Structure 1
């Protein structure tokens, strides 16, 4: 007589990816992309539920692989970005444009970029024309640039059309992941032929990171959170270093970039020596000049002399930004504000990352510059968000220096209202 054995219980998982559910196969739930989807060559839905984790992994792996390259940007970024686990497709030599097909959605994204998207970050006519025409023409030759343009446009549309935000965000993540994969071999072998496309890529990549900051969350542009960053958020604390890294591309290919169409980005700076500080507004000058008292030899500050000198240099460069924002015939406001990222000494940038309080005071005053360009969509709300985060990290005891940026950026009424910060604001004069 046959003994009927009881069936082994099957505990069905309800957290598998959508693609495996459709195929009715078991999903190994590996993130950011399950093995079945990798085998099928399809886009796993985990890339959509964990998009920033995937993107961080792609970007970090790209930089690690580039660490053996002689490219200045690769060397800079590979040393800066943290590594993340997870497999990444290793791209071979990028196929030609004819190997790619683009959808109706991609045409919509390209149209939005050329008609509206460029004006969000290029705030002067010749710069807009450059990114609307020349950069798009380069993108037809270099697919990594085309995918990045489409990723950026999709990100912008996810903000402009909130009812379809998830739809555009998915497209943005997919295109940017592809762009980073294809960019890897190009930046590893920077040449006269590809340097313009690589430079355009790094400019738009930084703009992408800046745009993707969530104003409802703490801003970690200069420094990371106390704990590990949530896997669903992009590591924004690395993007100041990214901007500084793209300046390395300029230095290594300066002659070629300066002779070509990108010269319109550099020409406005030709009349301003790198150490020249234009006249400041008297009120700005008073507050900025008093800031150095936080780390001067007569202060309780115990920082080494070399670090104090670095802070003095960063403060001078911040005064330069304040002066250029009101100087006639100066470069565009966005260019001026962003220039501080590349002008601060390496030691000061490292101090900001370590949350040294005296260095964070510089960030608080920098928020005033960001706020004064908030009429531009790229900058809107960024100054307020960064200042609130900086105040939280600073804590009490710095009211002598924080009162002015609070008043300019957040307004006097902010002190007595409900804030994301602690009660030390009430002691500000």
Structure 2
């Protein structure tokens, strides 16, 4: 049976009708005004495909939902499932001017972790965007989402724009990845950082609608950051010696975590891993230990270099073995417990607009999943749940 189409009207009308100051009939997937003018319609800018989508000749998915509908649970591949039927039109140029102004005067400063890398976000990345349209799309998406989270009354309008620009940028980005070279590696690296930040930020934009679970979000982020690692590996010298070197060339001192509760929790995690390691394959045991080593290092870097804390936190998925995420996808309890501890690291970026509530959601959701597997695992999550409760009360 075909799914029933929702007849509930939008509260705002499509973006193009609002810009022309005409009444919108609010029909999806494309309003009548946009059809008659043969222009792109924001109601049709993005489709979330089902598990086995079919794609029409115009690039749209035949089995899809609107941007405000349900999003596919397979977030690991969700970014490859967005399709925009129309490119950005001239009708959006005023909006683009607004977005670029917002990025240059506000968003870029929130991305910098220190004065040394502010210049990268304020000058180097925009300069690369003039040469690579996919990076310009990334900047527009980032500014759109930043505005969405600071203007609740217009949240959906700017969230829709963010998804549209992300979809547009991802198409060219994927094509360009097939030929990484000196001329494009900086733009590719900049865009990969931006879409990772977007993956952290999108769940907060959807708020209480729970369109995407924390599990799906973290899997997507791991896969996106794996792409960052691939670009860094293939263009290591160019990136470290080029205009984005400030993102790499800084000391990373290691210190022991200062919080006694953190130290005790990490010690208990290692002890439980060693205890369970007696009954698992040595290779699997080493995956756990390697991930815990990276956790301890990241906690130590937050203490030793607090102004670069966000970088150390986001970098953790890049450092851990890829097999850890495979175990997490399979519902491995110890891998899930390690991700609960990573959630505590994410609480340190709770005050960043793009990291708001991400750690809290990850801790709560994964702790509940562990409890369903076996209630005995709940005691291992108590430290993390208490940390998340404190952060939630203070925010």
**TM-score with structure 2 setting the length:** 0.76
Q: Among residues 335, 350, 362, which one is paired with 1:386 in the alignment?
A: 362
**What's the counterpart of residue 64 of structure 1?**
none
Partner residue in 2 for 1:53 = 48
> Cα deviations across residues 211-232 of structure 1 (Å, max 9, x unaligned)?
11235338745x33xxxxxxxx
Whether the aligned pair in 1 keeps the contact of 2:341 and 2:384 (CA below 8 Å) is yes
> Structure 1 residues 170 and 86, CA, compared in 2 at 3 Å: closer, same or farther?
closer
Whole-angstrom CA distance in 1 between matches of 2:343 and 2:9: 44
Distance (whole Å) between structure 2 residues aligned to residue 204 and residue 385 of structure 1: 21
Change (3 A) 1:404 1:304: same
Question: How far is the alpha carbon of 1:15 from its aligned partner?
Answer: 8.9
Residue of structure 2 equivalent to 1:406: 385
Q: Verify: 1:310 aligned to 2:277, yes or no.
A: no
Name the CA distance, whole Å, in 2 between partners of 1:256 and 1:404. 43
Matched, 1:187 2:177: yes
- Of 175-184 and 204-213, deviating more is 175-184
**CA distances 1:271-321 after superposition (whole Å, capped 9, x unpaired):** 55xxxx52222442222011123332x449743221111101100110101
Q: 2:376 aligns with which of 394, 397, 407?
A: 397
- Contact 1:121–1:378 (CA<8 Å) still a contact in 2? no
Q: Secondary structure at the match of 2:183?
A: coil
Deviation at 1:209, TM superposition (A): 1.3
- CA gap of 1:41–1:142, structure 2 versus 1, over 3 A, is farther
Q: Which has the higher contact order (CA 8 A, sep 6+)?
A: 1
For the 8 Å contact 2:84–2:164, the answer to whether it is kept is: no
Tell me the matched-pair count.
Answer: 351
Q: Contact 2:198–2:354 at 8 Å: present in 1 too?
A: no
Q: Equivalent residue for 1:344?
A: 320
The verdict on how the C-alpha distance between 1:412 and 1:147 changes in structure 2, with shifts beyond 3 A counting, is closer
Residues 29-428 of structure 1: matches in 2 within 5 Å? 42-47=39-44, 51=46, 53=48, 81=77, 103-214=93-204, 216=208, 217=210, 220-221=213-214, 223-224=215-216, 237-269=219-251, 271-272=252-253, 277-281=254-258, 282-296=260-274, 298-299=275-276, 302-327=279-304, 329=305, 332-395=308-371, 396-411=375-390
Alpha-carbon distance in structure 2 between the residues aligned to 1:132 and 1:124:
12
2:146–2:353 CA contact under 8 A, matched in 1 = no
Residues 109-149 of structure 1 show CA distances to partners (whole Å, capped at 9, x for unaligned) of: 01111111123332212222211111111111111111221
Larger Rg: 1
Aligned to 1:376, the other structure's residue is in SS state coil
- Specify every segment of 5 or more residues in structure 1 that has no aligned partner in the other structure, as ranges: 1-12, 62-79, 92-98, 225-234, 415-429
SS in 2 for 1:389: helix
Given that 1:57 and 1:86 are in contact with CA atoms closer than 8 Å, whether structure 2 keeps it comes out as no
The alignment yields a C-alpha RMSD, in angstroms, of: 4.0
**Distance in 1 of aligned mates of 2:202 and 2:311:** 19
Residues 88 and 39 (structure 1), Cα distance of their counterparts in 2 relative to 1, 3 Å cut: farther
Q: Note the residue ranges of structure 2 that are not aligned, 5 or more in a row.
A: 1-5, 57-75
